[in-house]
Structure 1
Amino acid sequence: MTTLLHIDASARHGESGSTPHGSHTRRLTARLVKRWTDMHPETKVIYRDVGQNPPPPVTGRWIHAAFTHEAKREPWMHEELRLSDLLVEELLQADMIVAGVPMYNFGPPAQFKAYIDNIVRIGRTFGFDRSRNGDPYWPLLAGEGKQLVILSSRGDYGYQPGGTLAGRNHVETSIQTAFAYIGIVDTQSVAVEYDEYADQRLADSIGKAEAAVDALVTQLSR
């Protein structure tokens, strides 16, 4: 049985097309999850809305707790890491991660960055040993076959690889870097563009993105 972790990071409520000023990324993630579960009804879906309920950003206390060996943690440290532990457990369960992450000022929303900071955990998702030969860091989720799908949206256009604004797109690349660091390297992405234009170009982009999502579900189901 596949476990799918569905994450939404948009600050917008609802989905575009059905909610006024709704989110394109929520629209795409909902479509992908529905298509997938229609084809694979046995799938277990874990839902995490970090756009509406963001995890707290990392603090000095969090760092102190995370970098203290579990056997030596004081009670307050366990409490400090309680939500992070839950987010890590959800990630560990997942075979597929479907993340709706819009572009805000050229990068992911702060809510999603806080999510990443909570799941990139020493001893849980990556290892570190100063005495290790070569690189002292290594991914703990490597080789598990986890797949990451990033569904994004942009106000402007040309952010795709080779596009005129590709160098300003720090959404997919930053997410891929963080997830690869912990061992999740199988990544696919689809994005809507032209949001700020609100014309036929946006409608066409949404249509192309939805078709790409449908094709991706078929591809990943093979």
Structure 2
Amino acid sequence: MPSANPQQLIPAEQLAQSPRRFPGESPQYRTARNALLAEEIELRRHIERVAELRRALPPGGEVPQDYRFESESGPVTLSHMFGEHDTLVTYNWMFGPQRQRSCPMCTSFLASLDGEMPDILQRVAFAVIARSPIERLAAFKKERGWRFLRLYSSGGNTFNRDYAGEDPEHGDNAGFNVFVRSSGVVRHTWGDEMGPETADPGQDPRGAPDAMPLWTVLDMTPGGRGTDWYPRLEYGA
């Protein structure tokens, strides 16, 4: 749905006169909270404008080959990953053969995606791709109790190099890509490009909006994300 014409929108400052009051709040708190609410409304509007621009991109490049992957049930090609859908979202998982264990950040994110996957798969196909052998990926999936993620090994192709900018000799990269299939032709439509070179001082590189629920929740708290904490694969009792 196209976003509304900004000239037709009620000013955020007008919408932000919240009738809510919390126990014990001061007038100073309410003034500051309403000012923040106006910024939150503007942020929501900007997120929708960016999403509209993303959807309106011209057709991307045709995929140069029908990449062959290994799935948990055998060989599969990129075109077959679409299944019944015309859109395929891929996530490059940082769990290449050079890693002893999965990237903790990717693991945290994939855990949240696993719970959302039954809903996501109603609208689009979704593939989680890494260069480790499929047996290793599947074993980690079982260890974490993931049920719905569809895993694919790209160890025998150049997908990660072509669409995640990976140099196999120097580690692996996380990243989203979106592909569409029309009349038998598969095209790339969007890939995230906000890496370390786009990060602002004092911030980790991340996309906008941030896809990780973990950070979205922490951003609502006074302590925020912190500067010296990241997810871990295991926590002590």
**TM-score class, shorter:** under 0.3
Q: TM-score, normalised by structure 1?
A: 0.24
Q: TM-score, normalised by structure 2?
A: 0.23
Q: Larger Rg: 1 or 2?
A: 2
